[in-house]
Amino acid sequence: MDFTLKQLRAFVTVAELEGFRSAADRMHVTPGAISLVIKDLEAQVGFPLFDRTTRRVTLTRAGRDFFPAAVKVLGEMQGAVLAASDAKSRASGVVRVAAPLIVAAFVLPPVIAAYREKNAGAKIRPVDCAVEDLVASVSENRVDLALGPDRPTGEDVERITVINSAWVLWCSPQHVLAKKRKISWETLQREDVIAAGRDYETGVLQALRHLPIDFRPAYIVDNVTTALGMAANNLGVTLTPDYVGVLASKMGLVMKPVEDPNFVREFSMFVPKRRTQSPATAAFREFVESFLKTYLASPANT
């Protein structure tokens, strides 16, 4: 037998109200429609469910025996419908999001806060990881999606560009470059540049390799926060994609564009290619793309 939610709801309602008209009023349908649904259900179970008189409708003995089971099944079916509706409304489910330090600390929290204003029941779990581990964390199903600078991906992971972020210079307000309107890469050959490890190597050095510029940083550190801290104390200048401004501006650093030429770094989202996303993940992913395009557009002013 293949009962429908509509059939069971009609049966239980008629039984409780002892009438087709009153049941029809509660369910916002016509008495004739209720009657047809009950007839279909009786045809499926193979016995009459109600004794009908001009004044009232009562359950048959078989109907009384069937009633408790119908109530139980109806409750379970309604619970399943509510659970599906809850998932569809994007209010349930845990979404695991990997991000490197700067993103996890200064980009992801505002995203989560803004998302939860519209989806109070949302459960977003940040997962700290190294930039080099972003793709693997998605591929190995340790997270549902990842956010960070562009990285090469394999067959299992898709990279989606959220925003193109220009490489810029950060310096303290006391630094001589803070007063200049434009800065070239050639100018930086004469400055103490604090490079932030591998991100710098894969970004700046690769971009400059075809230019006649002998660009050698004075310091190379592993973490961009260290580079920003040194720059804030006027120990040199540092270079990062401008989305890092969500932290750099809070440290009092001045941002200057670097030209001749201009380079950009993709801020990306990494998602699985071969796994079906949960409704909660799909909803959060859609929100992230829209939110970050605005939030990261001018990080120095956030």
Based on the fold, state whether residues 158 and 170 are members of the same structural domain: no
Q: How much is the mean pLDDT over the chain?
A: 86
Across 92-119, average pLDDT: 89
Tokens of 67: 């009633």
Q: 88, 104, 127: which is the final residue of a domain?
A: 88
Based on the fold, state whether residues 247 and 205 are members of the same structural domain: yes
Q: Is the pLDDT of residue 270 over 90?
A: yes
Q: 63, 88, 113: which is the final residue of a domain?
A: 88
Based on the fold, state whether residues 142 and 14 are members of the same structural domain: no
Q: What is the pLDDT of residues 107-165, one digit of tens each?
A: 999 999 999 998 887 889 999 988 889 999 999 888 999 999 888 898 899 999 999 98
Distance (Å, rounded) from C-alpha 250 to C-alpha 143? 29
Contacts for 91 with CB less than 8 Å, ≥ 6 apart: 119, 120, 121, 122
Q: 88, 111, 127: which is the final residue of a domain?
A: 88
**Closest CA relative to residue 243, chosen from 292, 184, 284, 291:** 292
Q: What is the pLDDT of residues 24-58, one digit of tens each?
A: 998 889 999 999 999 999 999 999 999 987 778 89
Based on the fold, state whether residues 187 and 273 are members of the same structural domain: no
Across 243-254, average pLDDT: 90
Length of the chain (residues): 302
DSSP string, the chain: ----HHHHHHHHHHHHHT-HHHHHHHHTS-HHHHHHHHHHHHHHHTS--EEE-SS-EEE-HHHHHHHHHHHHHHHHHHHHHHHHHHHHTT-SSEEEEEE-HHIIIIIHHHHHHHHHHH-TT-EEEEEE--GGGHHHHHHTTSSSEEEEE-----SSEEEEEEEEEEEEEEE-TTSGGGG-S-EEHHHHTTS-EEEEHHHHIIIIIHHHTTSS-----SEEES-HHHHHHHHHTTS-EEEEEGGGHHHHGGGTPEEEEEESS--EEEEEEEEESSSPPPHHHHHHHHHHHHHHHHHTTSGGG-
Largest CA distance in the chain: 101
pTM above 0.85, yes or no: no
**Residues of the domain holding 53:** 5-88
Based on the fold, state whether residues 204 and 221 are members of the same structural domain: yes
Based on the fold, state whether residues 168 and 241 are members of the same structural domain: yes
Would you state the pLDDT for residue 83?
67
The residue type of 243 is: Y
Distance (Å, rounded) from C-alpha 180 to C-alpha 176? 8
Based on the fold, state whether residues 129 and 99 are members of the same structural domain: yes
Of 91 and 9, which is predicted with more confidence?
9
CATH code for the domain of 192? 3.40.190.10
Contact 263, 149 (CB under 8 A): no
Classify residue 164 as exposed, middle or buried by CB count within 10 Å of its CB (0-12, 13-18, 19+). middle
Based on the fold, state whether residues 156 and 291 are members of the same structural domain: yes
Q: Is the pLDDT of residue 207 over 90?
A: no
Based on the fold, state whether residues 154 and 278 are members of the same structural domain: yes
Based on the fold, state whether residues 192 and 143 are members of the same structural domain: no
CATH code for the domain of 82? 1.10.10.10
How many Cβ atoms from other residues are within 10 Å of residue 243's Cβ? 30
Based on the fold, state whether residues 157 and 288 are members of the same structural domain: yes
Count of structural domains within the chain: 3
Distance (Å, rounded) from C-alpha 128 to C-alpha 192? 31
pLDDT bucket at 285, cuts 50 / 70 / 90:
very high
CA distances in angstroms from 244 to 91, 103, 239, listed in the order given = 31, 8, 10
pLDDT bucket at 302, cuts 50 / 70 / 90:
very low
Angle at 170 between CA 176 and CA 111, to 5 degrees: 155
DSSP string, 71-132: HHHHHHHHHHHHHHHHHHTT-SSEEEEEE-HHIIIIIHHHHHHHHHHH-TT-EEEEEE--GG
Based on the fold, state whether residues 159 and 176 are members of the same structural domain: no
